[in-house]
Amino acid sequence: MAADWSKYFPYTNQTSCFIFYSSLSKMADDKENKKIGLKTTLDMVVEGCRLPVKMSILPNEEEEWPLAEILSRKEEKGKLEFYVHYIDFNKRLDEWVLPDRLRVEELQFPRKDQKTPQKQTSSAANSRPTTPDRELQEKKTTVDRSESDSPSPSLLSKKLSLPEQTSSPAAKLGGQGQTPQSQTKSNAGRKRKAIFLDEKQDLPPAYCNSLSSQDSQDAPATPQPSAPPQQPRQTGSMSSSHDENIITRIKNIETIELGKYRIKPWYFSPYPPELTTISIVFICEFCLKYVKSRKCLERHRTKCTLRHPPGNEIYRKSTISFFEIDGRKNKMYSQNLCLLAKLFLDHKTLYYDTDPFLFYVMTEYDIKGFHIVGFFSKEKESTEDYNVACILTLPPYQRKGYGKLLIEFSYELSKFEGKTGSPEKPLSDLGLLSYRSYWSQTILEILVNLKPENGERPQVTINEICELTSIRKEDVISTLQHLNLINYYKGQYIITLSQESIDTHNRAMAKRKIRIDAKCLHWTPKDWAKRGKW
Amino acid sequence: MSKLSFRARALDASKPMPVFHTEDLPDLPEYTAINRAVPQMPTGMEKEEESERHLQRAMSAQQVYGAVENLVIPTPPAQVGVGYYEDLYEGQFKPQKQFVHVQALNMEQDYPEYDMDSDDERWMNTHNKRSSAMTLEPQQFEEMMDRLEKGSGQQPVTLQEAKLLLKEDDDLIKAVYDYWLKKRNKSPHPLIAQVRTEKRDGSTTNNPYVAFRRRTEKMQTRKNRKNDEASYEKMLKLRRDLNRAVTLLEMVKRREKSKRELLHLTIEIVEKRYQSDDFSGQLLAEVMAQRHQRPSYTPSPVPNGSLYAAMQGNRPDWANRINGEQVQVVRKKREYKKRKHKTASAAHVKEEHGRAHPTTPTYSDMDLHKYDFPSSEEDVSPAQSAEEDTDNDPDGSFAFRRKKGCNYYQARVDTPGNWPWEAKEEGGLGDPRYRYSCTTLSMPRRCVGFVRRRVGRGGRVILDRVFTPFDNALEDLDLSNSSSLPNGLPPSWLTDIRNKKWRHFRPRSPPSEDDSSPSQAPPSFSDHLSSLITFPASPPEEISAEQFHDHQQELVKVNLGMQKQQLAAQQDEAVSTILNQSFSSQPTSRFTVDSASAQFAVSAVVSNTENLDTSLKLREGPESAHNGVLEATGSGTNKVTLHLPPCSSITTELPPLPDPPCPRQPPSPNHHPRHGHYENGQSPGHPDTDHRRGSHTKSFLVIGQNGRP
Ligand SMILES: [Zn+2]
């Protein structure tokens, strides 16, 4: 398997034209001085360095030492710890590790003017063999990451967000004002530039460390050295491009306790900074209020009478219910929900208030109440026909089919509205898998059950599929392509079903025991446009 | 798509596609070359994440097996197992058959947000042990902590304020307050953990811990946008009006309470007198005498009284005073004094009981903020009070704070302006005297060339200078010294100026020359004033703009009349005392004049015509009234202050060119030659008069113009 993955490791290749890491292994070879050497080396392991780190997440698999980037280091009670991001693994696996998990001998320094190639896309990386070295040398002064990537012109078009990303820091460093073009782009562009702090590269490691270390309480409150004020667009719920702010790249909450579950967060979430210094944040499972201690939660529970999300129940079948919450009318709950969701959604943005969103919370009932399982948010008015903004199944309920249930419900709402819809982009890895799976099963369900008409071969149009499912046309096509069902045959497009795919489908459907029952949905769509303001 | 176009037609979403079984099409693989050309739709994921290994593995599994099966994407652990779950979520919950429906009103939580922690519990237990009489319940404690915490901004509330916030026993308040303060001072964060909110100064734009920012108020471009704005404004208006009603009712309540107190006290006095056989009132008089010897604890009871009167909506009195003749004014004044006497006596008795002054309620800052004084056009929102939490205010320390006693008016957009030099149809006076004229300052005594005068904000006198070719020559011009002929100035000019062919404004010449009588005030005088005078503060009464304007005019008349009356009536000593006070209390350093230009402005401020005696005395005083600025200090609060802008008081404009000699407009027949100068200044005013306008009326600036009889 390691061999297969090597193609994702352009950086390990010392001859690679655009990544220049020098290995420290020679220094470490000196076995007589190993102890001194190790100590020296640990001091050298600073932000931006790369080295193999032993991954802890996969206990049942063989020991893995993927290349990882050092994002931060901290010293607590004399113990040195490093925050590592495993290259080509999702950020949710990033973690604090002790020095014994670092393979320091293979430490790679970031080239002085070379930024961590965080921005690299696989396609770009693979198809960029010959960017001349000297071009990079010429670009020494450029600090921005994407710019130092210096893609060939043909690739530029693919990197939609590039102009925006380059604008602010480059302009700042070059002493030029922001160009009007970059301004308009950041406003009009579909992709929104996340505000980031590129100072990381210019600052001594200690500074980065203090910014990110968990025991530095004041760090978050300190106003960021001013990048030109840029605000994200005001619609949608996703921040698409990577937030380069080092603070948001590091998980800030250690553990949460929600109901009877203890959950390790996946990403940064802007809970009050004072909660980032404690080991567990306690969250009331019904109103989602966060408190610092079990005692506080105990006290809260004596006052909080909620046993279900504070909205109207619009669906109930068996133990599954859905509650609709208006982000404007119930701000407190909506904000608490968003904070919780952010712990598990990388690209969710909490920049703006929750007013333009509705939240559909899925619960499972037991004798204690309606327990939150997952939710999705939805813009009251979506200019891009999104029917889902953010969607999340809480980790304890994942891989049990709830995600598909949430998706199914979101399309059920769209059917009630008589529209097609699509989830807001970017999708997460888990989101993509869930949606693909849902789309595949839903479309296959239609195709498999098509009956021949008047002895003719059954026919179907893409539009018909859209109407039946409320899945947006592009998603239908992409699914058909993904499943290899669409073929150009003798001058026309046809759909082909193999017996294998039918069998697979039937097996998968047999596993989907819980389905959304439209009869149990009591809901009338509202025309929010007519209401003026949400 | 381009690649596709020459191989196969574009996919038509409305074209029926037959559904085949792969087994029925054995020749299909021959066409797969074309099929491969069908472009892949984007996944919708971030490019760099698409390549993540676990995802790639899962996606291939999905494609091959139709399901991810065992090749799941690993995630950080989530475990079941909170042993105390049962304790935290006690009891059972059985929902109804019907769907859960929440009332909008029920969503507001009515319990304290503050949750007691272990430290609090320990403290509370010790507290309860110590004072068994006052057992503190957890929720009661939380309620108190909650109020204290929410009542505080960046600065914790004081114990005094805490007592207002909490409705508990004083000892209990003290105990909890002390504990809270200690805890709060120890913690660098608010005690109720809250998500950081934005500050409007932009410092939080990039702070990742700041969330849920307000979307810009800008409304979406929609058909109903206009309607929205209109109804929004209406709502604001409605809120303001309702706020006023609340204020009014609160005050009525206070008044009635005071009345009741007064009644009780009067009864008490009568009873006491009856008990001590004081039928002649002798005892009362004695006590009264004692009372008057005591130093007043309020620096000036009069303004309080008048404020009180004004607050109670004593408008008839006010209006009468405004509209009335001089005699009427005096009568009213007596009435007023009488009432003051009454209140004083009542107050006295009250004091004997060791209680607060009942009939002259002192409105503290708190009150003023609470009672949301009405202002003409502004949206009066409680959030704008100075008490507002600066921490939460996006504007931080720069937030607008309503200054107490100030009325705020909307900018006028209907008229281009009412500068005195503007034409009458534009709201100005169209008076030639406001044109650019040759002007001399008294200190430093020199000619500054051609200057136009106007009164700026806060009563500042602004001289707009204009460049003329004579400037250099005029600078040396000293008309008091006839022997000095400035260089380069044709002698004929000087003659022209002397002969008043040119209008020349200069400080008053030796007093002997001045024989203008105060009674000769020009009829249009008050008209000038109405457009020139600004009342920095007006009584906290509800009056419309027109009313206010009328009041201003009337006020000026009345004030002038009263001053005359008072000056006549009062002994000379009194006047001179006032003047001496004002002179002595007015060192030059009072003004932050840091440039010569500011002095120019000062020099333009001279005393009022009507106050001739004062002005004369002023000039007699050896340099005591610097540059003719008179500061009258009638009483502690009646200070007339001039606010001088540091250096911007003189603005120089190039156009329009002056018309210096102005031959088309010869001096009016009764124009006194020696009155070619202008004077303006403040009337010292009688303390009472000024107080009636409200204690916060700080300045009353009159620009007098005796250039025309
Ligand atoms: Zn709760």
A113: Cβ contacts below 8 Å, ≥ 6 apart: A136, A139, A140, A141, A142, A148
A222: Cβ contacts below 8 Å, ≥ 6 apart: none
Structure confidence at residue B667 (pLDDT) = 41
According to DSSP H, which parts of B469-544 are helical? Answer: 471-475, 491-498, 525-532
Unique residue bearing structure tokens 């405004």: B322
Closest CA to A534 of A313, A238, A329, A332: A329
Provide the token pair at B277. Answer: 């056989």
> What dihedral do alpha carbons B203, B206, B209, B211 form, nearest 10°?
90
Contact call for residues A265 and A251 (beta carbons, < 8 A) = yes
Residue A508 sits at the chain B interface (C-beta within 8 Å): yes
Provide the token pair at B377. Answer: 């056009």
Which residue is catalytic, options A285, A379, A412, A424? A424
Structure confidence at residue B557 (pLDDT) = 64
Separation CA B541–CA B692 (nearest Å): 12
Structure confidence at residue A39 (pLDDT) = 58
Which residues of chain B lie closer than 8 angstroms to A217, CB-CB?
188-189
Closest CA to A358 of A322, A407, A393, A398: A322
- Among A258, A368, A483, most B C-beta atoms within 10 A, so best to mutate, is A368
**Helix axes B118-130 and B170-186, enclosed angle (nearest 10):** 150
According to DSSP H, which parts of B476-584 are helical? Answer: 491-498, 525-532, 545-569, 572-584
Contact call for residues B54 and A87 (beta carbons, < 8 A) = no
- Closest chain B C-alpha to A257 CA, distance in angstroms: 8
Query: Would the CB atoms of B11 and A493 count as touching at under 8 Å?
Result: yes
pTM: 0.56
Q: What residues have a C-beta under 5 A from ligand 1, the ion?
A: A 284, 287, 289, 304
Query: Would the CB atoms of B80 and A396 count as touching at under 8 Å?
Result: yes
Separation CA B151–CA B143 (nearest Å): 12
Strands of A492-497's sheet in order across: A459-460, B17-21, A492-497, A486-489
- Closest chain B C-alpha to A101 CA, distance in angstroms: 18
Query: Would the CB atoms of B19 and A427 count as touching at under 8 Å?
Result: no
A225: Cβ contacts below 8 Å, ≥ 6 apart: A197, A199
Query: Would the CB atoms of A303 and B138 count as touching at under 8 Å?
Result: no
Query: Would the CB atoms of A487 and B211 count as touching at under 8 Å?
Result: no
Query: Would the CB atoms of A118 and B48 count as touching at under 8 Å?
Result: yes
Structure confidence at residue B102 (pLDDT) = 86
Query: Would the CB atoms of B224 and A532 count as touching at under 8 Å?
Result: yes
Question: For B458-474, how does the pLDDT look when each residue is reduced to its tens digit (9 = 90+)?
Answer: 778 788 888 877 777 77
Which residues of chain B lie closer than 8 angstroms to A264, CB-CB?
76-78
Q: B467-486: b or e for each residue (b if 16 or more CB lie within 10 Å)?
A: ebebeebbeebbbeeeeebb
3-state secondary structure of A84: strand
Enter the DSSP assignment of A194: P
- What is the distance in A from the centroid of ligand 1 to the CA of B101? 18
pLDDT tens for chain A, residues 1 to 534: 444 444 444 443 333 333 344 444 444 444 444 444 555 678 889 999 999 999 876 656 668 899 999 999 999 888 999 999 999 999 999 999 999 999 998 999 887 654 444 443 333 333 333 333 433 343 333 334 433 333 333 333 333 333 333 333 333 333 343 334 434 333 333 333 333 333 333 333 333 333 333 333 333 344 444 444 567 777 788 875 555 688 999 999 999 999 999 999 999 999 999 999 999 999 999 999 999 999 999 999 999 989 999 999 999 999 999 999 999 989 999 999 999 999 999 999 999 999 999 999 999 999 999 999 999 999 999 989 999 999 999 999 999 999 999 999 999 999 999 999 999 999 999 999 999 999 999 999 999 999 888 888 899 999 999 999 999 999 999 999 888 898 888 888 899 999 988 998 999 899 999 999 999 999 999 988 776 555
A264: Cβ contacts below 8 Å, ≥ 6 apart: A254, A255, B76, B77, B78
CA-to-CA separations, B88 to A260, A299, B78, B82, in angstroms, rounded? 10, 9, 19, 10
Which residues of chain A lie closer than 8 angstroms to B43, CB-CB?
427, 432
According to DSSP H, which parts of B131-169 are helical? Answer: 138-151, 159-165
Q: Please name the member of B104, B142, B203 whose beta carbon is closest to the beta carbon of A223.
A: B203
**Other Cβ atoms closer than 10 A to A475:** 23
Residue A214, classified by CB atoms within 10 Å of its CB into exposed (0-12), middle (13-18) or buried (19+), is: buried
- Closest chain A C-alpha to B173 CA, distance in angstroms: 21
> What dihedral do alpha carbons B116, B120, B126, B130 form, nearest 10°?
-80
- What is the distance in A from the centroid of ligand 1 to the CA of A273? 21
- Containing H/E element for B458? none
Contact call for residues B71 and A256 (beta carbons, < 8 A) = no
Instruction: Residue window 162-191, chain A: list those with CB within 8 Å of chain B.
Output: none
**Hey, what long-range contacts does B253-258 have (CB within 8 A, 24 or more apart)?**
B254/B361, B255/B312, B258/B358, B258/B359, B258/B361
Give, in degrees to the nearest 5, the angle at Cα B197 between B195 and B202.
145
Closest CA to A428 of A345, A360, A349: A345
Separation CA B286–CA B283 (nearest Å): 5
**Hey, what long-range contacts does B376-380 have (CB within 8 A, 24 or more apart)?**
B376/B407, B376/B408, B376/B409, B376/B410, B376/B544, B376/B545, B376/B548, B377/B408, B377/B409, B377/B410, B378/B240, B378/B408, B378/B410, B379/B236, B379/B239, B379/B240, B380/B240, B380/B243, B380/B244
Query: Would the CB atoms of A487 and B32 count as touching at under 8 Å?
Result: yes
3-state secondary structure of B277: coil
Instruction: Residue window 331-390, chain A: list those with CB within 8 Å of chain B.
Output: 331-332, 335, 338-339, 347, 350-356, 365, 367-370
Structure confidence at residue B231 (pLDDT) = 84
- What is the distance in A from the centroid of ligand 1 to the CA of B588? 65
- Closest chain B C-alpha to A534 CA, distance in angstroms: 11
Structure confidence at residue B489 (pLDDT) = 53
Cis check for the bond before B656: say yes or no (omega within 30 of 0).
Answer: yes
Separation CA B329–CA B345 (nearest Å): 25
Structure confidence at residue A216 (pLDDT) = 35
Instruction: Residue window 70-129, chain A: list those with CB within 8 Å of chain B.
Output: 88-90, 92-93, 118-124
- Closest chain B C-alpha to A40 CA, distance in angstroms: 32
Query: Would the CB atoms of B195 and A257 count as touching at under 8 Å?
Result: no
**Helix axes A473-482 and A462-469, enclosed angle (nearest 10):** 110
- Closest chain A C-alpha to B137 CA, distance in angstroms: 12
> Which residue of chain A is at minimal alpha-carbon distance from B228?
A532
Question: For B267-287, how does the pLDDT look when each residue is reduced to its tens digit (9 = 90+)?
Answer: 998 998 889 888 888 888 888
Separation CA B506–CA B679 (nearest Å): 9
Tell me the pairing of strands A357-366 and A386-388. unpaired
Instruction: Residue window 16-55, chain A: list those with CB within 8 Å of chain B.
Output: none
Contact call for residues A428 and A267 (beta carbons, < 8 A) = no
Separation CA A290–CA A51 (nearest Å): 37
Separation CA A346–CA A324 (nearest Å): 24
Tell me the pairing of strands B17-21 and A492-497. parallel
Q: Which residue positions in chain B have pLDDT lower than 70?
A: 1-8, 32-40, 65-70, 104-109, 132, 217-226, 292-397, 412-421, 426-428, 433, 475-502, 507-709
Contact call for residues B399 and B391 (beta carbons, < 8 A) = no
Which residues of chain A lie closer than 8 angstroms to B394, CB-CB?
none
Which residues of chain A lie closer than 8 angstroms to B22, CB-CB?
496-499
Q: What is the CA radius of gyration of chain A?
A: 25
| Predicted ipTM beyond 0.90 | no
Enter the DSSP assignment of B360: S
Closest CA to B217 of A527, A352, A348: A352
A424 classed as catalytic: yes
- What is the distance in A from the centroid of ligand 1 to the CA of A286? 5
A336: Cβ contacts below 8 Å, ≥ 6 apart: A283, A287, A288, A289, A290
Contact call for residues A404 and A487 (beta carbons, < 8 A) = no
